[in-house]
Amino acid sequence: MKLNILSILAIGVAFTLPLQAQDPKPAPTPPVETPKVEVLKVGMTVPETQAMKDLDGKAVSFKELRGKVVIVHFWSDRCPAEKHGDPVTKALEKTYAGKDVVILGIASNQNELGAAPPKDADYSKLYTNLRDKIKEVGFTHRVIADHGNVLSGLFQAKSTPHCYVIDQKGVLRYAGALDDNLDESKGEKAKIYVRDAADALLAGKDIEVKETRPYG
């Protein structure tokens, strides 16, 4: 709040003039609006300039991914649901090898990430638990370190794996579960929602199932 100060300068006067009576009630301060944090919903465009860094400290943005279908999965190195999710995601890497599809993992569990690294950090010595898990699973796609839950807040990710599919223009087209087979009872009859969504976008078709309830 800014304060207005009234200065009275008396020149050639040997006594101090009395101050005028002040209004005991100060002028009301206009309320400060809380900045609105926009969250993504299906049909909205993902911000191009959203800053992200992978586990090697290399920057990546959704702008550079325009023109490709992007599969995003929020990932954990210790969530029980990932025992099912990791192999399914690994299979997606093989399915889309050489195609205009990018798979992007996002690690948002702050206990797994640890403190945000300083600017001069040696990233090769960071995230050893995540790196070990990635090596064990055999992932080859990039994994983003979401310090402060910026990305999980943007996407409103609630669990792992919570998945999203973004089209070639950067529009969010699918949000929800990786598949419908967490108990692994459906075999080849399982619906892999993210694969169905990505295939539809590659073929220029509409996505049949746009939202599902995530598990994990």
pLDDT surpasses 70 at 19: no
Tokens of 88: 């399914």
Give the domains, in start order, of the chain with CATH numbers.
Answer: 52-202 (3.40.30.10)
Model's pTM, two decimal places? Answer: 0.82
Give pLDDT tens digits for 81-92: 999 999 999 999
Q: What band does 24 get if pLDDT is binned at 50, 70 and 90? A: low
As a whole-number percent, the residues of the chain with pLDDT over 70 amount to: 83
pLDDT tens for each residue of 38-56:
799 999 999 998 889 999 9
Looking at every residue in the chain, the average pLDDT score rounds to: 87
**What are 142's strand-pairing partners?**
104
30 pLDDT more than 90: no
